[in-house]
Structure 1
Amino acid sequence: MPRLTRLTPDTAVGAARDLLGDLVSRHGRVSDMVATMAHSPAVLGGYLQLSRAMKRAKLDRKISERISIAIHEKQGCDLCLEAHIDAARGLGVDDDEIERARAGTSEDPAIAAIIELGLQVYREPTAITDEQIERLRGAGYRDREIADVVGVVSLNILTGAFNLVAGLKPGVVTESTY
């Protein structure tokens, strides 16, 4: 059972009401995570801004989904893990590669290296070396894609931590229209 309640445009107040009202008017519905994040307009607004910004990332979406899978496997957010596995499948990532991502790697050495970077940004960014960044450049990644990894990891830390604190889990989503 969720620890925090969902808000609606009718139950939210102030900036949260405005944010939810805008989202519902544009999309017809919002997820449980978004409805629950509305308890903190600062958190919801930050999530929405970072989420929109990361849609402009140059890192290939199939790669960012694999990084997300690796992060959530470690973080333990089953709701996020399920969502990113579904997204990866929707992009054509096969089940073997999804399992490798869950283990923090890939059959492709270049993708394995960028997943490893993502996990290091998550666990211990001080362990990242100049040589590691140079190897990523040698594998064809540009500075923008390397920087995008930090954004992908940051967004996943935010959503996973929020869902874990709020007690949101797969199978108990009550996504609905208002």
Structure 2
Amino acid sequence: MPRFDRLTPETAVGASRELLGELVERHGTVGDMVATMAHSPAVLGGYLQLSRAMRRAKLDRKVSELISIAVQAQQGCGICLASHIDAARSLGIAEHEIELAHQGVSSNPAVAAFIRLGLQVYREPASITDEQIDELRALGHSDRAIADVVGVVSLNVLTGAFNLVAGLAPSGHSGQLQRPADDA
């Protein structure tokens, strides 16, 4: 059950009113998380800026979604997990790869290394070693892509933590891995 009310451009104040107004004008509506984030103009503005910045990341979108699935499986945000699973499916990622990411692994060694890095950034970034970074480079990953993993994890921590604190839950499904009807 939500702990905070959804705000609208009419009920929000200050910078949040402006931000929500712009978003509604451009998109027609905003989701529960954004409408609830409007309680803090700093959080809403920070989320929007980081989200926009991460769209310029050089990290492959499929890899980003697999990292996000792994992080959200650990963090426990059902809304985020469901969203990233849906995004992965829409990108054509195979169901078995989505399931592996949920477990924090991948059948592709280069992707698996990025998922491991993402989970380590999430859990204990101080434990990352020079050897791990060298391994990522040996797998062909650029320093920019390695840095982008930190951004992906940061965005997931922000959105997942916010949703959990705000008491937001997925509507329509539990955020668990669900097979499409034609796989049943």
Match of 2:105 in 1: 105
Distance 1:85 1:5 in 2: 27
Which consecutive aligned stretches of 4+ in structure 1 deviate over 4 angstroms post-superposition?
none
Structure 1 length-normalised TM: 0.96
Match of 1:147 in 2: 147
Taking the TM superposition and a 5 Å limit, the aligned residue runs for 1:118-129 are 118-129=118-129
Match of 1:131 in 2: 131
**Percent of residue pairs identical:** 72
Q: Which runs of 5+ in 2 are unaligned?
A: 174-184
Distance 2:17 2:138 in 1: 48
Shift of 1:13: 0.9
Match of 1:164 in 2: 164
Match of 1:93 in 2: 93
Task: Give the superposed CA RMSD.
Answer: 1.0
Match of 1:116 in 2: 116
Shift of 1:14: 1.0
SS in 2 for 1:160: helix
Q: Deviations over 1:129-177 (max 9, x none)?
A: 101101100101000000000000000000000000001101179xxxx
Q: Deviations over 1:63-90 (max 9, x none)?
A: 0000000000000001100000000000
Q: Which runs of 5+ in 1 are unaligned?
A: 174-178
Amino acid at match of 2:92: G
Match of 1:45 in 2: 45
Structure 2 length-normalised TM: 0.93
Match of 2:23 in 1: 23
Tell me the number of residue pairs that the alignment of Structure 1 and Structure 2 aligns.
Answer: 173
Amino acid at match of 2:150: V
Distance 2:130 2:9 in 1: 48
SS in 1 for 2:141: coil
Higher relative contact order (CA 8 A, sep 6+): 1
